[in-house]
Structure 1
């Protein structure tokens, strides 16, 4: 043996021994916390292997092979056949065994006999190398967490689903029911692979400096409408992408919106079809129709002439305005010069704190408005009042205030202020025209993490679904999805309305509410009573002095990603960062969901406060009753810290960052993602999935990971390889009659089409940058079906790199536009 070969082998032995020492020491720490003994024993075996390799002794091979076998058996005992949990448990030991096999002919026993001669050593090395290659090859294919039944096909139970919206996409969720279902089947399972870009439009409002594109466009007749993060409203030709008009409301920067600009959608109304309150007259007894409705006063004036069809939207500096849908001109009869100031009645703390990001609901001539508030900075934030405005005049018609609840929804007299510190509504509402009810989800009284100052009415309406009469704002019912929320689990996704079939052939009108907790509540939308069982489960209550916590929390029989963590769920790219994560997990407070924060040590927060299900919501195949949802699976940790102590160690206060002052409460809160030193999550993949649920049975039909690591930077390094771990998602899905689910809210730069029956990815189109919104679909005047996505960059990158302003339409070849 040449001297340099010997030194190389001996050097590798030293490296293995040192790594084994690190593993063993970490194993001791884990054992001291009550954790697994495997890491100590594996570390000792690695030390022995390294020592024997250093000395060129034959036992190195047998110890290495034994460690590999034991690690495989231990892995199966802990996690079964779960691929991504198996990888870090065995891959390092597989490398060590392969190395030992390769050098085994020079490893000798006491008699000088080699551990293996060259031929068997080569054969063993090939076997181990093939196993290693197979392991790596399997990293490049998705691993479903729930596999669809072979040949399963959803039965059609409502053949005319989606027909009421014709060829259009007339509202944020396609309709006021929020189902995001388009009945079009021109693009289907068989031909989706042929999709091509039909046209691309650039808005000119680049998603930089805190701007994010989260918009879903709408399409009415022969025009598409969308908004940019700066609330610029744009009208396009839906078959060519040519710009028809644009309007810029010139939003003003303030403390709250300067780094937080979004516009998720606009609304539309034809006043001739749905007269607003200001166009209605009080009927005489003999004038009232047989249905009890009042006759409609004729429109008059210049405004009515130009604004019968209106686009309605809001701004991040707290205004609502309406535009003529045909010309883009402001409607002069609306509010003051075309605008209504939404800060009116909210008091001195509202400016810079209260602003709007989501698409408004317009129904029965009412514009229904809620707003976002800064989280966790201070007490005394403005009211979360939900208001209904006349869509023609801009007059305030009603105001539902959590502090008054069901007792009174009349607007306050001029000059009075709605009571501050109430739960707010910052998403998009849904509406049932048969019941005349609008449904909206609420958030929490801020600050989110300290509950010692909560008002009784805040606890009553936190994280709730509220049903109100859309014409009067009078509350019909409300349902809480959490009791005394201490983790920012505000409910933000648009409720989905669906008529659930029963065994006797009748249907129950239900509301489906997705939550950040991963719970899916299915309620009778007439009464708010659960249709799918809900139970109150005990949770930990060992809270800080002064905190008010609930002893139980509601859990639905349908949920996604809610299984409590255990030590074996901790993950890492290798055995070493997996060990680190297990130590961190065992060293945290964790008694399951809603374990209260402490000032003594970090508390694990799971489900995380980004979701579960965030504002993007879900979709339902209304023809089959299949609910399709994308979720986020990211755990966080948090702990209380005195504000002066945080200042001393240099923590910078923000609403969304790692430290918030919670000024006016005894404690600030420090929090962050639960990740390893390598920058990857400390818990098992997937970190984001697409799930199909049969609402008739409550059964999960399939669940697949969504997104790869390809474009997600880790410590500034972009992997560039498409390994479909399943990454955190944003935005929502689109479901079509072609048996497809479209989605583009992953961290990699793709729009995808999934088979609704199996979850199989049938098509993938590369985007110029990432996306965050929800796709939409329509039939153009050319008779072709289009799929449209808006891509401005993946969510919360923290930089201005890889940002865009792209509106992209896809269609089948044969008549592709320019």
Structure 2
């Protein structure tokens, strides 16, 4: 049969010519010289195969052998990197062993096939040892400490106002976690695809007052029986979905127990805030609005905000309650204009709903609200992430974003420049600033501080130091004294890239780097880090990379396309970190996802589809308006034509950091390609690659980490001491929410609960609508 031979020959010839042409372009751009001769050899081998020349197999065997040597020299024993370079050519080498080809070209075909087999043995050997991991050392000690409060409850979003996400429960252990089974599910009844713009369910329930308390994207609040998941009550504020946002969500509610002196009704109340900017107090017993709070249970957060529009300002994170004060900020849409609602942070009386204070960084005189006819300072940095609080110090710790618009900073005020992308300590009684620490200067990259500050106590001679760990999208972990904001681990100002900015912009000459803590930003990207399913799309990514403007971290946005890495999604995002105070281990979920950024002159931005509000659609390549500036902004993922990331994996890691030594205790990629693949197709193979995701971790005294926040429909448990995966379960959607755990008040069973969410930004579909509770069988407790 001659036609199968000529089919293989034609494929080799065409692929070889494409690779050779791309290789010539890559050389012209200053890139690797491999692809031009490599592609030429493949094309010539195909030509010879077409003609029946016996040199074809020998040439292909030589090409593949050289390819193996080149790949090992470039990326070492990294299995995923070798796969992109070798597997495709090796498959063609095995094709030479087909009888109709072997008869045509003789012993050269056998040589090509043998080199092909050797290639797969190399890949298999590299898969058994992953350079993406740092293995744990043995001999870790565990020092038990007293944890205040009822250990069986989960009374705040991060379990405590310190945001540790540490539970002292021990019923589920590394020895029995594999026996976990689904105890119940709860369907919220909300179809996330029915909204004007789909948005994910990301709520972390509270377990307090004998109830599970949770919310949905549409701000419906539910109380559930913690043993069965049965609905006890439901409150629907009937929010208006106009101005829908792909990041519209309700990540949780807050709870306050007024004790014996609390007024009736509502001695115990649930506090929530909505997409329509309403602050609501509900009776924990009935779910009805508390009549003495604001206007029949409602406080309008639009008061003093001035001009706004649906979806431009809302509260996405659970408020924090310290004493009798509710503190909350709000999410303000990115990149719409230079005239957007204020990023004001406000404190309200938990009983009456009266405004206690306001921190308007642009006008301190607005402490008790702006005068009639005036507004809080517009377009100041907002605080949409979860906050933390220290009742002993009387401080609430506020993570801030940057002033709008995110990617052009010429018009920002001095106060906005001072407090943007920072963690700010406010006096809970007055709202006055005690201290602030900035994590990114003159932020042009949307490096909002998205993670809840986590409060920990560090051992010191004669006692402990009250510390604060601030994760950032930049992949930097800043360790501060929470009394003063002074760094406890060295922070160094290092030179920042200056080339490529637009003429109207200015840049900070330096950026802060937390050199005293491990960086989770990933290494500086080079051409060799480009990746693809095949050598062709990897070559495409190499060419594109060479055309980009990239000078390392904090490469400024400009009129030519630049590479943003870490991305505006992280590093670390709203899932935050968890801390085991007994093992002194900090658990961090980090993301490795490159983004392309370009400023578009205003006239050009008006063409085509036209600009649209940030996050108001899933087409993130459309120009974002930044009205009031000379430019719009275009952002998109750095992906190949096949839809896969151009950066080599892993795309998500879990890292344990020893806070005694401030070194990495262990690190591993988390997540498989089972629910991902080229062109949006699912590979279906549970091959561990490390996938991106936004959810956070839960850590327990017994030595377990629970985590679901990756682009995969799975929920997992790991050993705290080693990072070894001990248990996993499939869910109907990925778990891009923070899990929680509690003890059932009637049976004494420990439950672990997570929302099956999905996520729009990471393209993790489907979007979910259910909560899942897992527990040991009754006899296995």
Q: Which residue in the other structure is 2:142 paired with? A: 156
Structure 2 residue 409 is the aligned partner of structure 1 residue 417 = no
Q: Are residues 1:436 and 2:436 paired?
A: no
Contact 2:401 2:422 in 1 (8 A): yes
Match of 1:305 among 264, 277, 280: 264
Aligned residue among 210, 219, 244 for 2:232: 244
Residues 791 and 807, structure 1, Cα contact 8 Å, conserved in 2: yes
- Report the CA distance between 1:469 and its aligned residue: 1.1
Could you tell me how far 1:266 is from its partner in structure 2? 0.5
Q: Following TM superposition, by how much is the alpha carbon of 1:640 offset from its aligned partner in structure 2, in angstroms?
A: 1.4
SS of residue in 1 equivalent to 2:598? strand
- The secondary structure found in structure 1 opposite 2:26 is helix
1:147, 1:758 within 8 Å by CA — same for their partners in 2? no
Measured after TM superposition, the shift of residue 100 of structure 1 is 3.1
Q: Output the CA distance in 2 between the equivalents of 1:126 and 1:603.
A: 43
What is the DSSP-based 3-state SS (H/G/I as helix, E as strand, rest coil) of the residue aligned with 1:238? coil
Q: Check the 8 A contact 2:497/2:554 in 1, yes or no.
A: yes
Deviation readout 1:713-763 (Å, 9 max, x if unpaired)? 643423222232211111111111121111112111110011112222111
Q: 1:389-408 maps to which residues of 2 (within 5 A)?
A: 389-404=348-363
Distance in 1, matches of 2:468 and 2:366, equals 24
- What's the counterpart of residue 620 of structure 1? 579
Distance 1:685 1:445 in 2: 33
> Equivalent residue for 1:61?
57
Distance in 1 separating the partners of 2:567 and 2:313: 24
1:621 and 1:769 map into 2 onto residues whose CA distance is 28
2:423 equivalent in structure 1? 465
Q: Which residue of 1 aligns with 2:96?
A: 100
The TM-score normalised by the length of structure 1 is 0.90
Answer whether contact 1:199 1:240 (CA < 8 A) is retained.
yes
The equivalent of 2:181 in structure 1 is 196
Question: How many Å separate the matches in 2 of 1:521 and 1:251?
Answer: 38
SS of 1:529's equivalent? coil
Secondary structure of 2:635's counterpart equals: strand
Q: Report the counterpart of residue 222 of structure 1 in structure 2.
A: 210
In structure 1, C-alpha distance between the alignment counterparts of 2:141 and 2:209, rounded to whole Å: 31
Deviations 1:478-524 (A, max 9, x none): 0000000001111111100000123x363211100111111111111
* Alpha-carbon separation, structure 2, partners of 1:125 and 1:162: 63
- CA 1:655 to 1:124, structure 2 compared with 1: closer, same or farther past 3 Å? closer
Instruction: Give unmatched runs, 5+ long, in structure 2.
Output: none
CA distance in 1, matches of 2:242, 2:355: 25
- Superimposed CA distance per residue, residues 511-538 of structure 1 (whole angstroms, 9 cap, x where no aligned partner): 0011111111111101101111111111
Residue in structure 2 matching 1:486, options 444, 450, 468: 444
Q: 2: CA distance between counterparts of 1:785 and 1:459? A: 47
Distance 1:571 1:334, change over 3 A: same
Determine if the alignment matches structure 1 residue 629 to structure 2 residue 588.
yes
Task: Name the structure 1 match of 2:752.
Answer: 787
Cα offset, 1:352, TM superposition: 4.1
**Does the Cα contact within 8 Å between 1:343 and 1:350 map onto a contact in 2?**
no
Give the whole-Å Cα distance in 1 for the aligned partners of 2:129 and 2:344: 45
Alignment match, 1:358: 317
Instruction: Determine the C-alpha separation between the residues in 2 that align with 1:804 and 1:597.
Output: 35
Q: Counterpart of 1:75? A: 71
CA contact (8 A) 1:161 1:183 kept: no
Match of 1:212 in 2: 200
Counterparts in 2 of 1:550 and 1:258: CA distance versus 1, 3 Å: closer
1:748 aligned residue (712, 718, 727): 712
Aligned to 1:86: 82
Cα distance in structure 1, aligned partners of 2:30 and 2:225: 64
Equivalent of residue 685 in structure 1, options 649, 657, 679: 649
Structure 2: distance between partners of 1:432 and 1:100: 69
Corresponding residue for 1:19? 15
Structure 1 residue ranges without an equivalent (≥5): 109-113, 274-297
Change beyond 3 A, Cα 1:350–1:528: farther
Q: Distance in 2 between matches of 1:713 and 1:337?
A: 51
Contact 1:214 1:772 in 2 (8 A): yes
Q: Which moved more, 1:74-83 or 1:585-594?
A: 74-83
Alpha-carbon shift at residue 101 of structure 1 (Å): 4.7
**The one of 458, 463, 476 aligned to 1:519:** 476
Q: Please give the alpha-carbon distance, in whole angstroms, between the structure 1 residues aligned to 2:362 and 2:540.
A: 47
Would the alpha carbon gap of residues 393 and 811 (structure 1) be closer, same or farther in structure 2, given more than 3 Å must change?
same
User: 1:7/1:383 Cα in 2 relative to 1: closer, same or farther (>3 Å)?
Assistant: same
**Deviation, structure 1 residue 116:** 5.8
Conserved 8 A contact 2:93-2:115:
no
Q: Which residue of 2 aligns with 1:663?
A: 627
Secondary structure at the counterpart of residue 443 of structure 2 = coil
After superposition, where does 1:706-745 map in structure 2 within 5 Å?
Answer: 706-712=670-676, 714-745=678-709
Contact 1:755 1:762 in 2 (8 A): yes
Does 1:585 find its partner at 2:585? no
Distance apart, 1:688 and its partner CA? 1.2
Alignment-derived partner of residue 248 in structure 2? 261
Instruction: State which drifts further: 708-717 or 517-526.
Output: 708-717
TM-superposed CA distance for 1:124, in Å, is 7.8
Larger Rg: 1
Aligned length: 768
CA contact (8 A) 1:397 1:472 kept: yes
Aligned pairs for 1:449-598 (under 5 A) are: 449-502=407-460, 504=461, 506-542=463-499, 543-557=501-515, 558-598=518-558
What secondary structure sits across from 2:666 in the alignment?
A: strand
Q: Distance in 2 between matches of 1:499 and 1:383?
A: 34
CA contact (8 A) 2:78 2:126 kept: no
- For 1:766 and 1:442, locate their aligned partners in 2 and report how far apart those are by CA, in whole Å: 35
Other structure's SS at 1:399 match: strand
- 8 Å contact from structure 1 (residues 532, 556) kept in 2: yes
Q: Are 2:396 and 2:426, in contact at CA under 8 Å, matched by a contact in 1?
A: yes
TM-fit CA distance, 1:131: 4.9
CA-CA distance at 1:36 after TM superposition: 0.6
1:700 to 655, 658, 664: 664
* Distance in 1 between residues matched to 2:66 and 2:459, nearest whole Å: 52
Question: For each residue in 1:22-52, what CA deviation from the matched residue of structure 2 results, as whole angstroms up to 9, or x when unmatched?
Answer: 1111011111111110111211221222223
More off after superposition, 412-421 vs 382-391: 412-421
Equivalent position SS for 1:703: strand
Corresponding position of 1:329: 288
* 3-state SS in 1 of match to 2:18: helix
Distance 1:787 1:509 in 2: 30
Would you say the 8 A contact 2:737–2:757 is kept in 1?
no
Partner of 2:776: 812
Task: Decide whether aligned partners of structure 1 residues 258 and 376 sit closer, same or farther in structure 2, where only a CA change above 3 A counts.
Answer: closer
Paired residue secondary structure (1:715): helix
Question: Structure 1 residue 93: deviation in Å?
Answer: 2.4
Taking structure 1 as reference, are residues 757 and 797 closer, same or farther at Cα in structure 2, changes over 3 Å only?
Answer: closer
* Deviation (angstroms), 1:638: 1.3
Q: What whole-Å deviation, never above 9, does each CA across 1:430-488 have from its counterpart, x for those lacking one?
A: 01122111101000111111112111111111100000111111111000000000011
User: Hey, what's the Cα distance between the residues in 1 that align with 2:216 and 2:113?
Assistant: 58
Contact kept, 8 Å, 2:410 with 2:506, in 1: the verdict is yes
> 3-state SS of the aligned residue for 1:164?
coil
Cα offset, 1:797, TM superposition: 7.1
